[in-house]
Structure 1
Amino acid sequence: MFSKRKYLLCTTTFAGLMAVAAPAVAQEQLPGVNVQGQSDQEATEIGEVVVTGSRIRRDPTNAPTPLIQVTREELLSTGQSTMIDYLATIPALANSLVPSDTTGSNLNDGGLSFANLRSLGTGRTLTLVDGRRHVGAAEGSLAVDVDAIPRLLVENIEIVTGGASSVYGADAVSGVLNFILRKDFEGLEIDANYGMINQEGQANKRISALAGVNLFDDRLNLYGFAEIEDIDEVGSMDIDWMRDGRGFVNLDADPTSARNDGNLDSMVIGGGVRSLSRPRWGQTTLANSQQPSPLNDPDVPLTNCVTTGTVINTSGNCYSLDPTRTYVYEGTTARLANFGQRLGNTGANRTLNIGGDGDPVALFGQESRVPQSNSARYQVGANFAVRDNMMLRAEYKLIEEDTFDVSQPTFYDFFLDDAQYAANQVSTATATNSFGLRYSDTAFLPANVRAAIATNTITNYTTNANTPGTPLAPVARAWARHSMFGPQRTQDNHREIERYVISLNGDIDQLGFISNIAWDLGYTAGEARNRNIERGTDNQRFNLAADAYVDVAGIVNGRPGEIVCRSRFIQASGGAPADSFRGGLLTDTAEGSAALAACVPLNIFGAGNQSQAALDYIDASITVSHVNQQEQAVAAVSGQLWDFFGAGPIGVAIGGEYRHESTEGIGRSTGTGNRSLFLNTGADFAFAEYESEEVFAELSIPLFRDTWLGEYAELSGSYRYFDYTTAGEGEVYGVNLVYRPIRDIAFKSSFNTSFRAPNLTENFRPNTQTFANGFVDPCATLVIAGQSATIRANRIANCTALAAAQGFTFDFAGATSTNTDDFNPTYTSGIAGVTGGNPLLSPETSESFTFSTVLQPRFIPNLSIVFDYYEIQINDVIAAVSAQQLSNNCVSGPTLNANACATLVRLNPAIPFGFGNVAGHPTGAFIQGSTNFASLQTRGLDFSATYSVDMEEVFGLNLGRFDYRVGGLWLLEQKQFLDSANAANFVENASNVFFPRVRLTSSLTWSPNDVWSVNWSVDWQAAQHNANLRLRDLVAANNADARPYDTYDTGDFARHDFTVRWNAADNLSVRFGVVNAFDIEPAAYLGTATTPNFDPYGTRFFIGLNYRPF
């Protein structure tokens, strides 16, 4: 934490000393400075402009805040497929949301692109267009879809990397992206690009056109823009290294009391890995128990299948994959599965193999990695000079975008046995996606599997210290489990954005004692409409259809021997089929009656055996629509006052702002109705809104110019008062100091307070279903053993107390010589819960400090070096804390965290003390509500350098011109304080995956003449750790043999891109190049995961042109 009092005291003391000395030798003009693309010249020739970060006109070289600029040329020349993909290569914008991040389990966000400064969250980065607000694209959010801003219209992008709420209002916590658009364009410009987005050939195709004309002696400018862009879908199997299949395999399990035996516990398998866990349309495993290994080498733990009673046991302990008991399907026949080269030596249920049956591991998760997208973007505008010093501007924009992506398929478990059914009973539902099914007469089950189930026995074991487990007497149990992936889940998203802007601005040379007045009145309105068709399955219909029966007598349809739904057979036989989802009878509800009447039998045993009629019957979808609306009115005026110190006039700006935000979403509740769907269900988003009224002011005071203290210094400040109908009143401020001791060096320092009001989703989103995927139970004995000594002790005590409250006793410490009393649950799928908003949220507040050094040495022309140090701390952070973090918080502190524990449920019907809830419970296992918690802190150093040299001018060699640019980020810390009950509990993300300690981009351009140029760009980042697998932590936990040492981090990563530009004519330029020229792939230990900072798409090529016929 840093002290604002310390920074303010240093800043104001220094400013005061310089102000006292300033009048001594003050001059009237600021001597020349090097501005990019300009030679030395007097300040009056440079002129004064408004630069992002302030509303006061000033020399741009004296801008008070750190600023990164991106030009249109850079955006158009890059081989990256979208604008946000390019911006995300800037280290300060790493972890921005790119289109490939919007596939999988995310809803209603297909293809969206959100900037994320300092990796503090997309909601904490304010995106402006010409200094004005833009409507947010996601439901209830203010985050702006960056790719909805036409790139051909962009003049440049100015990025302020520090808090700026006192200047621009809420959301500018980590900084501002301001897209400056071209003004008064005249002529016609066409830009087209074809670029591969994956080395298998998937591509982005775009054509853009901008036309403008000046009329009435150039007083009126009219322009129009149009763009069409198509992006192909990239699936998991389209990416070569992902298709090959790779990942970690467990080799050795150690006793928790002695975890380092010198044998590697796991290793990376480089390719060809397949999974038999849950293939498309399933595998069937007979109930069994696996023989445990010796207790002193617990590779295979004791996982006996409890056979008490005749009711089927649905515990995962009973259905470990087994080469003698696991069946797969070919056509309508079944055979024992081919396990190929079975991988791993640990655990009772070993699901991975090389060769043989099963699906590639890349297909176990989501299928789409980049969504298919078709976009049309249009914008028209007018600029009219009402008077010589008054300009009226108006613009209208329309964006239409359709995206499609495929997430993880639906997944179901069927437990096959006969003992639990009455004569006329239909298949039961043990959970929304887990059903019982008769094996003896289910129609599509191959005869050999039916016979194997009927004669199945289960052999349980005792454990021995030094030898494998001793078998007990076998028990006959005709049980089996059919585990499967079913039909795909897809999202078909249509998005429209409209935006209107009208403004009137002008200049007044003098009004009373105020000179150089600039004023602006502006009104902006925007609307984002989204319609998402979410497609999955109807769980009840799936259950009814899977319960297929041979109608020997033809009672249902008069066709003897026909396969029908058992429910229809029971009804036709005079029975009353029960409704296992709603209770009562199927005929009690319209949905149940419709499902019964239309039922079509479904063959669930093996891919390709499903009729289209059955697939149509179980298909389900909901159409969810939402709309965001925004209005903003701003009035601002700036000018210059007196020159007290002879250093230049005091600058001042004042203004006011009104803003209205609203959102509404319908279709989720009404579309679901009284059905049980394999989709994210929940209530509709009722209309919600807020208004804000704000006033702001800025003041800049030049302290001296050309004195013995230096060439120039300026102290400036900003202030904003706000009043939100939801978040209440507040105020923020900023203080900046610019000091240039000599023309070659400038120092800039700033301290800013900022705020972020809760957005409408965080405040008012209704509870909707979500899933905790890849959940790691913090009470698992093996997980506890890998923690620091303090957390280990806390978790042992807290987990023991939690378990005791439910009547369970486990060895959480791993203190005994046996692993049989340990708690090591296996969660085979995502854990269901709910997430929602919180109307009682408070605004986030933040403090940021920056210190910059700018070097432009005269003795090395065309060299510029910038260092920007920053610190940002955000308090009362608003977030829906994940189920994983909640569960960690519950047990990691000195005592149980009552608030976190209260949001969690450990009533898993298949895992004693496991996370989960009874079937059909509306909240599931956890509640992720938005809350104010703890804080975020980040600290780092941005650095950049540019250098240009004309070889003939400098060395007399006719080799053309070289331009070099490098920019980077040294991340000193990125702390997340996620536990409000324990202020000392934080996660240090710096150097973890997503947060490289150092990342830099470099660009070298050689222009041998005015016709050709060649660019070589490198995106380099330092090695990153898996957050849970740092070598030092495993050594501390006496588990240094957990994996090979070279797999504890990703290794350094560098992507090389090359671009060639050919200026074929004065009005035509052609560009072509290659991205990831050396086909660098992400680290193997990341498995099939994709992270935005590691380019996963291999070597790819692009070509584009820019043509201006007139």
Structure 2
Amino acid sequence: MLSTRKYLFGTTILAGVLTLSAPAFAQSTQPAQDEESVQVEEVIVTGSRIRRDPTTAPTPLIQVTRETLLTTGQNTVIDYLATIPALSNSQVPSDTVGSLNAGGLSLPNLRSLGSGRTLTLVDGRRHVGSPQGSLAVDVDTIPRLLIESVEIVTGGASSVYGADAVSGVLNFVLRKDFEGLEIDGRWAQINDGGQDAQRISVLAGKNLFDDRLNLYAFGEYEKLDEVLSGDIDWLAEGWGLVGRDADPSATPYDGVRDAELYRDRRGLQLLRWGQVTLANNYQPSALNNPNNVPLASCNSTANFTTGSCFSVAPGQTYVFSGTTARTANFGDWVALTGTNRTVNVGGDGENPNTIFNVDSTLPQSESARFQVGANFAITPDINLYAEAKYVDETTDLATGYSFGDIYIGDLTPRTNSQQILSTSAYITQTDNAFLPTNLRDAILANRVTIYGPATATAPGAVIGTAAAPFARYSAWLVDRPQHNERQLQRYVLGLNGNAGDISIFKNVDWDIGYTYGRADNHNEENGLDIARFSYAMDAVRNSAGQIVCRVQALTAGGGTVTNRNPNVGGTMTSASPDVAQCVPLNVFGLGNQSQAALDYVHAGLQFDQKNEQHDALASVAAQLWDFWGAGPIGIALGAEYRKESTEGGGRSASLGTTYAQLNGGADFLAAEYDVNEFFGELSVPLFRDTWLGDYAELSGSYRTSDFSNFGKSDVYGVNLVYRPTEELAFKTSLNTSVRAPSLGEAYAPFTQTFLLFTDPCATANIQAVTDTTIRNNRVANCATLAAQFGLTFNFVDPTATNAYRPDYGSSVAGRNGGNPLLKPEESESFTFSTVITPNFAPNLSIVLDYYEIQIDNVIAAVSAGTAANNCVSGPTLNNNACATLTRTGVNDPVTPRDDRFLLVDFIQSSINYAKRNVRGLDFTANYRFDTDEMLGHNWGVFNYALNGSWLIEQKNFNNIDNPADFTALESTLFYPKVRLTSQLNYRPIESLTLGWTMDWQTAQDIVLPRNFIANADSRDPAYLNSGNFTRHDFSASYKVRDDLTVRAAVTNAFDAEQARWLGATLYSNFDPYGRRFSVSLNYRPW
């Protein structure tokens, strides 16, 4: 139980008290108060279970009031909390698009250390997590109108609240004993493109039996429109850097700027339903040419699926208009850097800011939230409390498109079904019935120029030409929408009370309660059936002149064809479902696809997930004697039992044997753990009102936990409060914390995933590395790795005949999964706070909170890309990293390409190997200026709050091979060195409040200056960082009458947006949605 008590304070002390105990991040405007003492409403002091004066709260707190949450122009609770500097990297809905099964989840993230390291409580009690196998709480399931305040402990608190409070605690304090009827409604724009949100909330409460029983009921409906990337104006404009000059890695500086900022960028490498590029080649430039950049050459016509043969280029690339093809318009400028990812300015192509992002930037969501509760005074000293909550939420979002390459040529037999090269690479031939005639003619007549090697002074000479009647089709294909249905239930039942004095224990408060939570999620994903797509797109005319699938034409006379579905294998006849149901699919051009064909190639899966939580908590708090007049010793003891479980299934069952571009995999078998915990706290006042100072207190906390699967852990906290005068106070704390591995991290089954893989052993990639040591290491290590397969490549010269030129098509399939051998993370946090409430400015308070957090044994995932780089970038092969990757040493005889040394599988999992260090300083200033009191003229009351954070250091130690190696994140994107919020409220009359809020962030590095020095012409120096970002919000609240208040707000009033040179990546801390308006009303008829 979190103890409560009533206190009396004078007006001038009240501001300091509230700041000491919980500096309010957003101050609601309060009515003017008399100079006489006022009774302060009973408060809950988060951070300790011991009853105490709020001025002696042992840990730094931030407080957000209900009024602030209701008057803000932000759409959701998490959207507002994410504007608090300490919570700036919380997961807001726009961060969840593209995430499997996470659309719309709102997860707080303190200190940017991860949502799993932030403990979220409701009235001091645990809340079930929403993501599969996770304890992270979706805070938007907490009824907004029921929230009294949000109290945030910004430091480790596991010894008080248990595991997972590594970076801090969010405690949502709900309203108690509400009586009356309150209706709150809101309409708001969520993007300046016209999408909006609507919410209606109703809260009713009634006291019965002489106020011994309070009953309340809450209901809320909320709907948010979907925002697509193309709906955001600055994304739709296509801004970004475009390469203008190409430099070799050995001499990267030639005085010519490598990239310039352009609007209307286009990309022709992948289009909706395709572009076709004829096989072509590049002439090697003279070695003394400052723009000499080694490019892979097209040396072979036998392996016609070699990626280096299909560089997107003017005259070689075709797009579609209706059912005909034409050469692509490359606009006003073509990037000089890159081949398969060429960018042009104007002309044809997709906007990379929208097509390469996931299609949705905010999911469409519809939510209904209900909660009922009761408080019943059984006796004056015993109270029964109960609550029940049910939330139903549906989200829909587009997660991008399926993608693929189709190689067109006549180098494979026409007597069988065509091979499937990978999950996103296929083959068809020039007899494809949908292939436009002019494009077929161009492919058949195509020739490539063969060049010799470049010399020191001359480009590669033309040796001759060779017939190259083949091309590559590249496309974004079918949509991949995702649908989620979530239900969350939570039930609380308990007793609390005051037992008076028991022996040496005075004023004994006790609480015993049980909480049950359950979160269910039903997910539906849609994508592409790989095998059926390969059959449908390979369309021909049969003997009757009808367009059919090739597999139908070949089996019509009783023949058989190879079943290209690796999950089935064997052969197929005309009666096989995949043949009999096949509908020819015209892939050449957007809009040419029949619905029947799209239905045939559609694949879908659905699955269900469940989290359950049982939590029983008992605590007692009391006071001992006052030995030396400093105040009574406080003590709290308690025990807690908690059980977490999760399970999920349906992926495998719904997919069956379908070979799909979807994230299939095994079911999540039921997994669980339980933990028994005992805890205690002790606070010892050292002195009060002596020559040593006004007050001092030493307090400590301890918790021992026994996890059924991870064993025992012990954590502690030590706190010291020293107030030399009523104007100045110091607080310091040292806390240890743990985070147990989540069930998802430990037991998640291996599921299929896809990776756009950049091979660190590709010769061209090695030579593009600017660090000489890493480049030389990769040459040696890749050669060693290749030798293990009996292979030899030239890893130095990209133009050499035997250079390693991997062709992965569009992606590589691999697996993600859990690790049951994980151990708990361990952390230590230190804070030191200074609180100033000067008498010369009685309404001014200043708080400075310094913090340090170090987390060891951090559970971190090692991506396949990172593992591949770590495998070959060190002085020798990193065998641990290499072991997670599978390469092939053979060339598949049925695949018309060179497969040798390609990555064919990978495992991505988490291990205890990383470390996190973070240091910073939070600062808060609050000032109230009453013109009547200060100037003698009643011109209104001003309330000002300044809240900010200075991020001194944020280091991630993620190199498994070199634990001392770290990445410094401070001042990089998402991690501003300084972020602050300035809030000014003005109340000219009692019924009107006007507000102005400014969110300001320092510039964040895109390219580190030390890297820019090595290539000082890479871009305009102004584009090295994001530039400072400022957003202004304005609000107004008018009390029409006692029972009706109207509010209005404009968010991002001056339409601030992120730096245009950031391109396609959406950084939510910069507010991507432009100027938007909201109006709301609050009605209390009784």
TM-score bracket for this pair, using the shorter chain length:
over 0.9
* Preserved contact between residue 252 and residue 299 of structure 1 (Cα < 8 Å): no
1:770 correspondence with 2:748: no
Of stretches 1070-1079 and 259-268 in structure 1, the one that deviates more from structure 2 is 259-268
Q: CA deviation at 1:790?
A: 6.2
Partner SS, residue 80 of structure 2: helix
* Preserved contact between residue 424 and residue 575 of structure 1 (Cα < 8 Å): no
Separation (CA, whole Å) in 2 of partners of 1:584 and 1:149? 47
Query: What is the total number of aligned residue pairs between the two structures?
Result: 1055
Partner SS, residue 472 of structure 1: strand
Q: How does 1:167-566 map to 2 (within 5 A)?
A: 167-269=160-262, 271-295=263-287, 296-298=289-291, 301-307=294-300, 310=302, 312-349=303-340, 351-361=342-352, 362-421=354-413, 423-439=414-430, 441-462=431-452, 463-553=454-544, 561-566=545-550
Deviations 1:39-67 (A, max 9, x none): 89999976986411111010111100010
Give the TM-score normalised by the residue count of structure 1: 0.91
Instruction: Letter of the 1:285 partner, please give it.
Output: T
Q: How does 1:735-750 map to 2 (within 5 A)?
A: 735-750=718-733
Q: CA deviation at 1:953?
A: 1.4
* Preserved contact between residue 786 and residue 901 of structure 2 (Cα < 8 Å): no
Separation (CA, whole Å) in 1 of partners of 2:885 and 2:692? 62
For residue 566 of structure 2, the aligned residue among 578, 582, 593 is 582
* Preserved contact between residue 256 and residue 781 of structure 1 (Cα < 8 Å): no
Separation (CA, whole Å) in 2 of partners of 1:82 and 1:256? 48
Separation (CA, whole Å) in 1 of partners of 2:213 and 2:986? 40
Partner SS, residue 877 of structure 1: strand
Instruction: Letter of the 1:35 partner, please give it.
Output: V
Separation (CA, whole Å) in 2 of partners of 1:567 and 1:668? 29
* Preserved contact between residue 291 and residue 300 of structure 1 (Cα < 8 Å): no
Instruction: Letter of the 1:1033 partner, please give it.
Output: N
1:859 correspondence with 2:840: yes
Instruction: Letter of the 2:502 partner, please give it.
Output: L
Q: CA deviation at 1:510?
A: 0.6
Separation (CA, whole Å) in 1 of partners of 2:949 and 2:890? 49
Separation (CA, whole Å) in 1 of partners of 2:320 and 2:326? 6
Q: CA deviation at 1:789?
A: 6.8
Instruction: Letter of the 1:1052 partner, please give it.
Output: N
Which consecutive residues of structure 2, in runs of 5 or more, have no partner in the other structure? Answer: 1-9, 19-29
* Preserved contact between residue 250 and residue 346 of structure 1 (Cα < 8 Å): yes
Q: CA deviation at 1:878?
A: 0.8
Q: CA deviation at 1:287?
A: 1.0
Q: CA deviation at 1:1072?
A: 0.8
Deviations 1:970-1024 (A, max 9, x none): 0011001112331221101011101111111110111111122211101110000
Partner SS, residue 378 of structure 1: strand
Of stretches 456-465 and 52-61 in structure 1, the one that deviates more from structure 2 is 456-465
Aligned to 2:5: none
Aligned to 1:92: 86
Aligned to 1:66: 60
Alpha carbons of structure 1 residues 133 and 43: separation in structure 2 relative to 1, 3 Å: farther
Separation (CA, whole Å) in 2 of partners of 1:910 and 1:1085? 43
Give the TM-score normalised by the residue count of structure 2: 0.93
Aligned to 2:685: 702
Of stretches 1008-1017 and 693-702 in structure 1, the one that deviates more from structure 2 is 1008-1017
Separation (CA, whole Å) in 1 of partners of 2:573 and 2:965? 51
For residue 132 of structure 1, the aligned residue among 111, 118, 125 is 125
Alpha carbons of structure 1 residues 101 and 530: separation in structure 2 relative to 1, 3 Å: same
1:1056 correspondence with 2:1032: yes
Instruction: Letter of the 1:1092 partner, please give it.
Output: S
Partner SS, residue 409 of structure 1: strand
Instruction: Letter of the 2:612 partner, please give it.
Output: Q
Q: CA deviation at 1:825?
A: 7.1
Q: CA deviation at 1:684?
A: 0.9
Separation (CA, whole Å) in 2 of partners of 1:43 and 1:800? 81
Aligned to 1:948: 928
Of stretches 627-636 and 573-582 in structure 1, the one that deviates more from structure 2 is 573-582
* Preserved contact between residue 188 and residue 1078 of structure 2 (Cα < 8 Å): yes
Separation (CA, whole Å) in 2 of partners of 1:291 and 1:636? 78
Q: CA deviation at 1:100?
A: 0.4
For residue 707 of structure 2, the aligned residue among 724, 729, 738 is 724
1:621 correspondence with 2:611: no
Alpha carbons of structure 1 residues 507 and 810: separation in structure 2 relative to 1, 3 Å: farther
* Preserved contact between residue 778 and residue 784 of structure 1 (Cα < 8 Å): no
* Preserved contact between residue 855 and residue 866 of structure 1 (Cα < 8 Å): yes
Q: How does 1:952-963 map to 2 (within 5 A)?
A: 952-963=932-943
Alpha carbons of structure 1 residues 196 and 583: separation in structure 2 relative to 1, 3 Å: closer
Q: How does 1:643-682 map to 2 (within 5 A)?
A: 643-682=626-665
For residue 1045 of structure 2, the aligned residue among 1069, 1088, 1101 is 1069
Instruction: Letter of the 1:91 partner, please give it.
Output: P
* Preserved contact between residue 430 and residue 919 of structure 1 (Cα < 8 Å): no
Q: CA deviation at 1:771?
A: 3.3
* Preserved contact between residue 50 and residue 57 of structure 1 (Cα < 8 Å): no
Aligned to 2:1009: 1031
Aligned to 1:21: none
Report % sequence identity: 53
Of stretches 766-775 and 484-493 in structure 1, the one that deviates more from structure 2 is 766-775
For residue 825 of structure 2, the aligned residue among 824, 844, 849 is 844
Alpha carbons of structure 1 residues 796 and 650: separation in structure 2 relative to 1, 3 Å: farther
Alpha carbons of structure 1 residues 820 and 574: separation in structure 2 relative to 1, 3 Å: closer
Aligned to 2:21: none
Alpha carbons of structure 1 residues 49 and 698: separation in structure 2 relative to 1, 3 Å: farther
Q: CA deviation at 1:424?
A: 2.5
Partner SS, residue 237 of structure 1: helix
* Preserved contact between residue 48 and residue 58 of structure 1 (Cα < 8 Å): no
Instruction: Letter of the 1:86 partner, please give it.
Output: Y
* Preserved contact between residue 248 and residue 768 of structure 2 (Cα < 8 Å): no
* Preserved contact between residue 843 and residue 928 of structure 2 (Cα < 8 Å): yes
Separation (CA, whole Å) in 1 of partners of 2:103 and 2:592? 32
Alpha carbons of structure 1 residues 46 and 669: separation in structure 2 relative to 1, 3 Å: same
Alpha carbons of structure 1 residues 284 and 588: separation in structure 2 relative to 1, 3 Å: closer
Q: CA deviation at 1:787?
A: 5.7
Partner SS, residue 1026 of structure 2: coil
Of stretches 453-462 and 616-625 in structure 1, the one that deviates more from structure 2 is 453-462
Of stretches 326-335 and 937-946 in structure 1, the one that deviates more from structure 2 is 326-335
Alpha carbons of structure 1 residues 424 and 481: separation in structure 2 relative to 1, 3 Å: same
1:996 correspondence with 2:976: yes
Separation (CA, whole Å) in 1 of partners of 2:398 and 2:845? 47
1:966 correspondence with 2:907: no
Aligned to 2:557: 573
Deviations 1:620-671 (A, max 9, x none): 1100110001100001001011212221111111110001111111011112
Separation (CA, whole Å) in 1 of partners of 2:126 and 2:231? 39
Deviations 1:578-629 (A, max 9, x none): 1123288665699x93212211111011111111111111111100110001
Alpha carbons of structure 1 residues 783 and 639: separation in structure 2 relative to 1, 3 Å: farther
How much is the aligned-residue C-alpha RMSD, in angstroms?
A: 2.7
Q: CA deviation at 1:869?
A: 0.4
Deviations 1:669-690 (A, max 9, x none): 1122111111111111111111
Aligned to 1:8: none
* Preserved contact between residue 700 and residue 718 of structure 2 (Cα < 8 Å): yes
Q: CA deviation at 1:699?
A: 0.5
Partner SS, residue 926 of structure 1: strand
Q: CA deviation at 1:355?
A: 2.4
Partner SS, residue 479 of structure 2: coil
1:154 correspondence with 2:147: yes
Which consecutive residues of structure 1, in runs of 5 or more, have no partner in the other structure? Answer: 1-28, 554-560
Q: CA deviation at 1:205?
A: 0.7
Partner SS, residue 909 of structure 2: strand
Deviations 1:250-279 (A, max 9, x none): 22222222221111122222x111111111
Deviations 1:303-349 (A, max 9, x none): 321225x4x42122111123222211111111111222232122344
